[in-house]
Every structure is written in C-alpha cells, then in structure tokens.
Amino acid sequence: DQQVKQNSPSLSVQEGRISILNCDYTNSMFDYFLWYKKYPAEGPTFLISISSIKDKNEDGRFTVFLNKSAKHLSLHIVPSQPGDSAVYFCAASSNSGYALNFGKGTSLLVTP
C-alpha cells in the first residue's frame, strides 16, 4: 500500500523557470517530510525537509510547502538549472520508527 504518492512520473521545465514537484500522503501519523534527489547509480541525496509543525521551509533555491489538511506537499525549485535534472523522491516518516516511506519519484528534466 503506497502511503506516499508522486503522481507525476516526469516533468520537463525550461532553465530559469520554476519547477514544482508534488507529493501526497495518506498516513496522518506522518510528521516529518523530506525531499531527496537521485542520480542514476548513486544514492539519494538529501535536499530539504519539513516538520509537520511548519507549513514552509526554504533553503536557497529550494522551498518545500506542507498542507496538512490536504495531506499534500510540494517542492519548488527557483530558478531551475540543468544540473537539477534528476529523479526527486518525496519521503515521510513518523516518530514511531523513523523509517522512511518513499514515493515512486518524479524525473525532472531542465532544458537549456
């Protein structure tokens, strides 16, 4: 049962524009959310996280928004750069065990 869902398998954005990656979750016990970036043949690289007590967290070009009532979060990348092209995984955990539940990923392609 997929508790974290990324419904867009792929996204193509022009360099300099905003990339918006979406993620939905079903488990109301989740209280910590993360975004990881992954290149082929490498491990996931941590990008940004947000606790359920916040609705926004910003780090440079990356901003994560959390809407708890809708069980939805999104990652905004502004401005997008060709080096951002990768697979982005949304992940969630609860403080009952900390194991991460991943979405299936969104492949982002930033074109020059």
Partner 1 sequence: AAGVIQSPRHLIKEKRETATLKCYPIPRHDTVYWYQQGPGQDPQFLISFYEKMQSDKGSIPDRFSAQQFSDYHSELNMSSLELGDSALYFCASSGSGGADTQYFGPGTRLTVL
Neighbouring CB atoms inside 10 A of 28's CB total: 10
Candidate list 105, 106, 108, 110; residue touching partner 1; CB under 8 A = 105
Least distance to partner 1 from the beta carbon of 43, Å? 4
Query: Which amino acid is it at 26?
Result: T
Candidate list 60, 83, 97, 112; residue touching partner 1; CB under 8 A = 97
Residue 46 is a binding residue for partner 1 (CB under 8 A): yes
Q: Per-residue DSSP letters for 25-85?
A: E--TT--EEEEEEE-TTS--EEEEEEETT-SEEEETTEEEEEETTTTEEEEEESS--GGG-
Binding residues for partner 1, total number by CB under 8 A: 21
Candidate list 12, 28, 45, 67; residue touching partner 1; CB under 8 A = 45
Residue 64 is a binding residue for partner 1 (CB under 8 A): no
Q: What are phi and psi of 82, to 5 degrees?
A: -55, -35
Which residues form the interface with partner 1 (CB under 8 A)?
Answer: 4, 34, 36, 41-46, 49, 89, 95, 97-105
